[in-house]
């Protein structure tokens, strides 16, 4: 397994990024200013984008694994890698996700804790309704991981 930081041609990963954020213009708001990490294991399996929001605060904006490779630990490996990568410069890492029984437990398992919600985020910011596991996403749920080593 190898994780690479992608500095050029980030849009080449759009098919995978769209699995976690279904609207390209929303991805365009952060992709250019974020660091893109790609996990390879006999080919590309997973990606994530992390942005610096302010001094000591970063946000995991997009974490996606190809469907046929989900559940094999690639997403968790990527999260562990970025925690280590940002150690020393990150005081708090945030991640925003839909209020979903699929994603919230995953992020909690990775060490995040629920922080706050942004009401109607998906209704206001997306052109069409987004559904996950048959449930429409409405509010953005933010989780946070505080780093005590900074």
C-alpha 26: how far from its chain's center? 13
Helices assigned H by DSSP within the chain: 14-20, 24-31, 74-86, 103-109, 121-125
Per-residue confidence in pLDDT tens, the chain, 150 aa: 999 999 999 999 999 999 998 899 999 999 999 999 999 999 999 999 999 999 999 999 999 999 999 999 999 999 999 999 999 899 999 999 988 888 899 999 999 999 999 899 888 888 888 888 788 888 899 999 999 754
């Amino acid at each position: 397994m190898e994780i690479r930081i992608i500095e050029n041609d980030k849009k080449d990963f759009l098919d995978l990024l769209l699995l976690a954020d279904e609207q390209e213009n929303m991805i365009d708001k952060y992709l250019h200013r974020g660091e893109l990490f790609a996990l390879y294991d006999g080919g590309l399996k997973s990606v994530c984008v992390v942005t610096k929001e302010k001094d000591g605060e970063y946000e995991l904006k997009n974490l996606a694994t190809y469907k046929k490779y989900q559940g094999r630990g690639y997403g968790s490996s990527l999260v562990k890698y970025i925690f280590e990568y940002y150690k020393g410069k990150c005081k708090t890492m945030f991640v925003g996700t839909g209020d979903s029984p699929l994603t919230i437990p995953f992020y909690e398992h990775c060490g995040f804790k629920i922080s706050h919600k942004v009401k109607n985020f998906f209704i206001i910011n997306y052109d069409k309704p987004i559904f996950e596991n048959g449930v429409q996403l409405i509010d953005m749920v933010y989780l946070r991981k505080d780093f005590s080593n900074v």
